[in-house]
Each structure stands twice: as C-alpha cells, then as structure tokens.
Amino acid sequence: MRAMVVEQWGGPENLVEREIERPEPGLSEVLVRVHAAGVNPVDWKTRASGALIEWGAVPAVGWDVSGTVEAIGPGVGVFRPGDKVFGMPLFPRQAGGYAEYVVAPARHLAPKPAALTHVEAAALPLSALTAWQALVETARVRPGERVLVHAAAGGVGHLAVQIAKARGAYVIGTASAGKHDLVRELGADKAVDYRAVRFEDVVTDVDVVLDGLGGETAERSLKVLRAGGRLITLPGPDDVPAAHDGVRALWMLVEPDHLGLREIAALVERGALKPLIERALPLEQAAEAHEIGEQGRTTGKIVLTVA
C-alpha cells in the first residue's frame, strides 16, 4: 500500500511516499481503507523530532482517519466490512494514518456521521475529541458559564467554540480581527483581537479557559478566571502555570474514545458542530500540507485525500 513515511527527522521534505506492507487486523481490530486523513500540529512536531510517540518499524505519520472497514479481526462485534467509520486510533502511539490502509482497535473508531463527507469527518477526531475531553469531561462546562477559547478559528479552537456553545456557555474567542465574523458565526458571543489588545484587559470573570497556545498565554489566562475557574492547557505539562486564588490549572492529553466520538457525531447530526476545511490536498502532497500548517495561520483543518 501507499503510505507517507519519515525518512529522517527534520523538515517537511523528509516526509515521502513509499510502498509498505499492508497491515492485517488482529484480535479486536479492524482494517480501514482510508478515504481521507486529517493533519494536526502533533503530526509535524513528531516528523520534526521523532519525539512524543512510540514508533514502529516504519515511521509512518498521522492519526485522524475516515474511511471504510475493509476487514475485521477476531472478536469484533461493533463493525462489519463496508461500514463507514472515523477516528483517531492508537494515539499517542503510532497509527500511520497517512496511508491507504490503517489497522485500529475497533473501539477507537465510531460510525462516520452521515451528514459529513470523508474529508470533513477526517478533520474531526483529534481536534474535536481534544475540545470535548477538555471542556465537557475535564472542565465540566455547565450552561451559563463563561468560556474563553484561545485561537478560536484554529483546528481545535473552531470546534471548541461550537462545543462550548452547544453546552449552553457564553463563549469568548480570541482571533485576529479578520476572523471575527467567522468566530461569531461559529457561535462565539464575543471576539477579541489579540493583536490589538491584551485579552486580560478586556475579558473578566471567566469560568473556563481552553488554551491551545501555552507559554505566557497560559500564565496571563489565570488573570481572567474567577474563583473556582479552570484553565486547561494543551501544548504540554511545562505550560501549566502555578495556579492561585482558588483556580485550577492543568494539562490534558487527548485519548482515543469511541463514546466521545459518538457524542461528537451526534452534535454533527443535529447541526451543532461543523468542521471547517482550510484545504484538501492529495496524499502525496503531505509535505506541502505540513508546510502550510507550520505557518500557524490555518483556519480550521487541512486534510489529505487518500482513496
């Protein structure tokens, strides 16, 4: 099968197409024929350094997939060949989603929302599960709470805005001025231009902050939280600031989650969640996809088309 692999750690040019052996499903696993594969920041970070994950014999990149079940292994009862599925298998271990086929534990996948194409569905798993697990399962956002989402037009951010709004929250999003109309269309009640003002000067009494940026943004975010507030930071444990004044700050790493994917699919089906696609590129242009993503100006997601 065709797959994009890393020949050596470094720049996007090291991500190349190769023919590798097609995997076979084992106990409780399914073989998925990949129609589309989502691109995420963790993809190019692992390509650049080889860090963050456990690598297999062939360093194949990617986690987000949407496709069709080709075969099932012994013990699988939730899917049959021909079922359309999406998911984020094995994270943070290697999955090799930039390929024509991928093997996944059956319960790392869920039925693809019928309302979405494979390209749209491939944009969801890692980013939407990150937002869902951070806001719903970790911060436990309640109706009427004030939620601040940093980078509200980005891959995780644009989904987090919609999920927080679906929970009944008052949503504030930071984004450049040119993206404010979009952020409001996604459901934000207030948009803040982080280039024109310091967000902590114009935002107060927040219950939950979702920080996908880290660094000083996480530290400054503590200032906008009211007593009992929760800061969830995503880049890494080193970005968690020392909390004070009755607020909590923690790092969260997304996990594969069959039930979470089903909740996300339900939001899609009722029209409360829609992924934005910045660009769809063919599999062999994965290096270009990484180059675009690393510029940090993407609105929504980049997706690779495979089948």
Per the domain annotation, does 261 fall within a domain? Answer: no
Tokens of 240: 């968690």
Instruction: Enumerate residues 6+ apart whose C-beta is below 8 A from 193.
Output: 174, 175, 176, 177, 180
CATH of the domain at 150: 3.40.50.720
**Tens-place pLDDT, residues 105-145:** 999 999 999 999 999 999 999 999 999 999 999 999 999 99
Please check whether residues 110 and 25 belong to one and the same domain: yes
Report the alpha-carbon distance of residue 241 to residue 248 in Å, rounded. Answer: 10
Mean pLDDT of the chain: 95
Per the domain annotation, does 23 fall within a domain? Answer: yes
Whose CA is closest to 94, among 5, 34, 1?
5
**Tens-place pLDDT, residues 170-184:** 999 999 999 999 999
Please check whether residues 165 and 227 belong to one and the same domain: yes
What pLDDT is recorded for position 7? 86
Please check whether residues 131 and 247 belong to one and the same domain: yes
Per the domain annotation, does 114 fall within a domain? Answer: yes
Helix, strand, coil share of the chain (percent; to 5): 30, 30, 40
Please check whether residues 112 and 142 belong to one and the same domain: no
Judge whether residue 52 has pLDDT over 70. no
**Tens-place pLDDT, residues 63-113:** 999 999 999 999 999 999 999 999 999 999 999 999 999 999 999 999 999
Per the domain annotation, does 260 fall within a domain? Answer: no
Burial 86-122 (b: 16+ CB within 10 A, else e): bbbbbbeebbbbbbbbbbbbbbbbbbbbeebbbbbbb
Report the alpha-carbon distance of residue 284 to residue 3 in Å, rounded. Answer: 9
Percentage, residues of the chain above pLDDT 70: 97
